[in-house]
Amino acid sequence: MLRRSLRLGLPALLAATTVVVMRSPARAGDGVGNVDCGQTPNTAECDISAGVPGSPGVSTGGSQGGSGSDDSSSGGGDNSCHWEPVDVDRPPPAGKGPGGGWYAWTCVGNGLGSQGTPVWLDRAPVVDPAVLAQTARSRLRLPEPGIRTNPDTVPFVLVRVPVWLWVDPVTWEARSARASVPGVSVTATATPTKVRWSFGDGSPDLTCVGPGKPWTSGTDPRAASPCGHTYTRSSATERDTVFTLRATVTWSVTWSGPGGGGTLAPLTTTSTVTVRVAQSQAVVEGTR
């Protein structure tokens, strides 16, 4: 669930404010948790709203649809919340002059609405786009890498036969998500850059820039892949009889909004498959 923190500056203001936020689980429509806001900008996954009095105004945890992020939470909900000016039949609080006004934290979503107790704000709500970008980052839904190999790992691969490794292009595409407040919209974009392969047989990990090169028909099956691995021993000697092949993709994250943009902390996604490695057997027939 999306976490929202309001930096109001005055503890008394927090105590006097009633905030009602409706939340609902996030859903993606492509089966892999991806939301491409460039193609479906009006989907609830792409648009959230947050309102904050003062500056910087928004503080949120991050999330990622994968793993290895330095923030951890999952975004959700299709409600829109913001500070809305309201008419209140009473004067400003003592000592408050022109420039401020009465505001209520207002949420609308799923056909329902709620509004908190009006409070006096000395300034109209503002938001720092760079901080709002963290919210957009937390909305990113990244697919797990689709591991592809040649030879196929089912039912097994042979010792000393080169295995070509790559990530399915469907799971190697940029993804984006958006966060907005009235008058300000920020988009975060995640782009896959490299993949780290772990083979489960005790050999060192291998990091490849890009998704790897697919094996194509006509390529010598004895040729080593530009990004691949050759198992030198059978998994039958291991306790569990299989090795675990792991792919960890690193995504660079950038944001763009009013006045510019910048770079955010990268994200990672991971997936695994089991690999049974068999020793090839040679059969020699004698002659008489």
Residues forming a β-bridge with 260:
257
137 in helix, strand or coil?
helix
pTM across the whole model: 0.62
Helix ranges (H only) for the chain are 11-16, 129-138
Residues 199-250: tens digit of each pLDDT: 999 999 999 999 999 988 888 877 888 899 999 999 987 666 899 999 999 9
Residues 94-108: tens digit of each pLDDT: 888 777 888 888 776
For CA atoms 128, 133, 138, 139, give the dihedral sign: positive
For CA atoms 79, 83, 87, 92, give the dihedral sign: positive
Q: pLDDT over 90 for what percent of the chain? A: 38
| Paired tokens of 25 | 């689980």
Residue 169 DSSP class: G
Using CA atoms, how far apart are residues 102 and 121, in angstroms rounded to an integer?
A: 6
Using CA atoms, how far apart are residues 182 and 126, in angstroms rounded to an integer?
A: 9
Using CA atoms, how far apart are residues 96 and 272, in angstroms rounded to an integer?
A: 61
CB 208 within 8 A of CB 193: no
Radius of gyration of the chain (CA): 26
12 in helix, strand or coil?
helix
Residues 146-162: tens digit of each pLDDT: 999 999 988 899 999 99
- Residue burial 229-260, b: 16+ Cβ < 10 Å; e: rest: bebeebbeeeeeebbebbbbbbbbbbbbbeee
Residue type, 271: S
At residue 81, the pLDDT reads 66
At residue 59, the pLDDT reads 28
Using CA atoms, how far apart are residues 272 and 242, in angstroms rounded to an integer?
A: 12
Using CA atoms, how far apart are residues 163 and 153, in angstroms rounded to an integer?
A: 9
Using CA atoms, how far apart are residues 46 and 179, in angstroms rounded to an integer?
A: 7
> Phi and psi at residue 14, in whole multiples of 5°?
-60, -40
* Residue-level pLDDT, tens digit, the chain, 288 residues: 333 333 333 333 333 333 322 233 333 333 333 444 444 444 444 443 333 333 333 322 223 333 333 333 333 334 556 677 888 888 888 888 777 888 888 776 556 778 889 988 887 777 788 888 998 999 999 999 999 999 998 889 999 999 999 999 999 999 999 988 767 889 999 999 999 999 999 999 999 999 999 988 888 877 888 899 999 999 987 666 899 999 999 999 999 998 889 999 999 999 999 999 998 765 445 554
